[in-house]
Structure 1
Amino acid sequence: MLTIIRGSLPELRKEMDHYKKQQQDNVRFVKKEYKGNSVLSKKVAEAEKLVEKYSFTKCTPVRIDHIVINYKLYTAFIKKLKRAHYTEKLVDWKLVISYKDGPATGKLELFDISTAYTKLQHIPTAVFEEVSR
């Protein structure tokens, strides 16, 4: 289980909201600038992807060792593994969560997303914490 040891999610949320607002302004500008132009759909789609990227409710970047993962996805997956036995380990540039729940086995790989969030200064840092069950 991951525990945040440095930084805070509210600080990160403020910073992400700031960048999200900038991207929303950019979408408005692109729509206005390319009004009636066939290039509009491509430019607007690119700008809207950037708005989603900074949506705190969809992605919450958290640093673990040398990588950054989507903490929102991580916590949602761990909640589903209530009774299952699982292990977490860093392999190269990804976090691998392997689980076994009776006959069902599987793994989730959370890849490094640090290149997508180079602008963010307040990404919290987390460490693995042993959970006894």
Structure 2
Amino acid sequence: MTKTVLILPGTALIYIPILIQRFSERWRFGVSVGTRLHCAVVAMLAVPALVLAANTMKLFAHDGHGTPAPWDPPQKFVVSGPYRFVRNPMLSSVILMILAEAVALNSPLLLSWALCFFLLNTVASYS
């Protein structure tokens, strides 16, 4: 399970945002970091995203007898929990986490990355 977290969502949530921030440190929104409203918005995005991610991974392991990784897919089709309402709740949680990162770091480029990530996954799901 650790490999799955480090490779799949890790690329979208850690490695690419680090590269974006590393090469674009001068790009920032004008909002001051650390205000109560700012922290509340970050929490409103991050907490549900983390709960959703943990819940969906648990469902894959418990109900599906597998992981989100392509090399160890679920053996059973999971239709419980958030999968009753959303086709890919794991993807929704990753997008919410990227949005939380963008707000936390005041980064319009991370916001752009969230949009690109959403569009890439939307197009890929229809092909």
TM-score by length of 2: 0.34
Answer 1 or 2: which has greater strand percent: 1
Max Rg structure: 1
TM-score by length of 1: 0.33
Answer 1 or 2: which has greater helix percent: 2
